[in-house]
Amino acid sequence: MSTEKIINDWRKNSFQPVYWLEGEEEYFIDKAVMYAEKQLLNESEKDFNLSIYYGKDTGWNEVVNTCQQHPMFGNRKVVILKEAQQMREIDNLASYIEKPLTTTLFIVAYKGKKLDARTKFAKLVKDKAVLISTKKLRDDKIPDWTMSLLEAKGLTITPKGLALLNDHVGSNLTRIENEINKITLNLADKKKITESDIENYTGVSKDFNVFELQRALADKDLAKCIRIIQYFDANPKAGPIQMVLPTLYVFFSKVYMVFGAETAQPKAIASAIGVSPFFVDDYVKAARLYTFEGVENALLLLHQYNLKSIGIGNVNTSSADLLKEMVVKIIA
């Protein structure tokens, strides 16, 4: 079952006594918890029938006692245990989960990890509760997820705008949604987000960013690479070397994988190397321009300059000069 399915069931007034939400991707856990906290009870009921606890500050017995209380002036009591992974002796919740009160909705947010499936408690949770185990989305799945989120809001986005947004925000799904909400507030009646909108409302330059440096390097456009690096030098937050080098290393690692894809079909290559079909042409072009040996050389240079960026084999060279020196060698 998914978080979306749980929320849809709640909207239809279909409830189970216990929900256990666990795993690495906090966004999906937070969505369900936020809905439960804000939407399951009306404002007059919340004072009497909504209880929120935090694992670090609460004992299991206090939570169980609250869960066993009948609702006041309503049909349902909602008990939410946040940060449950920090609760001591959490296994002692077993007695309640075994025989929960049907008028109580008990929601447990167990973030960052999962219960050990081999334990008796984990088996009980799987058997008696609605269990959601979330996983971090792979980087190549983030653009598709972002597109789905935009579609749900009735919006579309240009391919470059999508790349710029994901490059700027990274893989934090909550931040992606927050940035989209911020952009949406400024769109007025527009339904399509462009790279100019990303630039205007998130503070990232549409022309001078890590994504554009990656593309310029893929094209072997040295002049454009230097212009972007000079922009980074003048605007340190736009492209710190600690962010630039790992991004480029991931890019060339995936270009390296193109040679082993054993297919010429763009969609098949995108799937094989783990990137969105929107951007696979950049990887294929780079593989063609650099050849196998050139990509190996690029990866080696990125490793060397990563060491230099933390002071190994380098004393006084600035980050901008290191990047310029590196891209010259990669393109050459």
DSSP assignment of 203-262 equals ---SSSSHHHHHHHHHTT-HHHHHHHHHHHHHSGGG--HHHHHHHHHHHHHHHHHHTTS-
Residue for token pair 């193109």: 258
Parse the chain into domains and list their residue ranges: 3-134, 139-202, 210-331
Cα→Cα distances 251→91, 140, 155, 168, 304, Å: 44, 12, 28, 16, 16
* DSSP letter, residue 265: -
From the number of C-beta atoms within 10 Å of its C-beta (0-12, 13-18, 19+), residue 332 rates as exposed
Q: Which fold has domain 139-202?
A: Helicase, Ruva Protein; domain 3 (1.10.8)
**Is there a common fold for 3-134 and 210-331?**
no
For helices 241-258 and 266-273, angle between their N-to-C axes, nearest 10 degrees: 120
CATH 3.40.50.10210 fits 3-134, yes or no: no
pLDDT of residue 274: 85
Q: Is 103 helix (H, G, I), strand (E, B) or coil?
A: coil
DSSP state letter for 101: -
191 membership: H or E segment, kind and range = none
Under DSSP, the state recorded for 68 is T
The CATH number that domain 210-331 falls under is 1.20.272.10
Sorted by sequence, the CB contacts under 8 Å of residue 315 that are 6+ apart come out as none
CB atoms within 10 A of CB 130: 17
pLDDT of residue 295: 95
What are φ and ψ of residue 104, in 5° steps?
A: -110, 135
The per-residue pLDDT for 290 is: 95
| Token pair in block for residue 328 | 């010259």
Single-letter amino acid, residue 129:
A
Task: Retrieve residue 199's tokens.
Answer: 């630039």
- Tell me, rounded to whole angstroms, the distance of Cα 113 from its chain centroid: 16
pLDDT tens track of the chain, all 332 residues? 689 899 999 999 999 999 999 999 999 999 999 999 999 999 989 989 999 999 999 999 999 999 999 999 888 999 999 999 999 999 999 999 999 999 999 999 999 999 999 999 999 999 999 999 999 888 778 888 999 999 988 999 998 888 888 888 878 899 999 999 989 888 888 899 998 898 888 878 888 889 899 999 999 999 999 999 999 999 888 889 998 999 999 999 999 999 988 888 888 998 888 887 878 888 999 999 999 999 999 999 999 999 999 989 887 889 999 999 999 999 98
Q: What per-residue confidence (pLDDT) applies to 271?
A: 86
Left, alpha or beta for 282 (phi > 0: left; psi -120 to 50: alpha)? alpha
CA gap 84, 53 in Å, rounded: 9
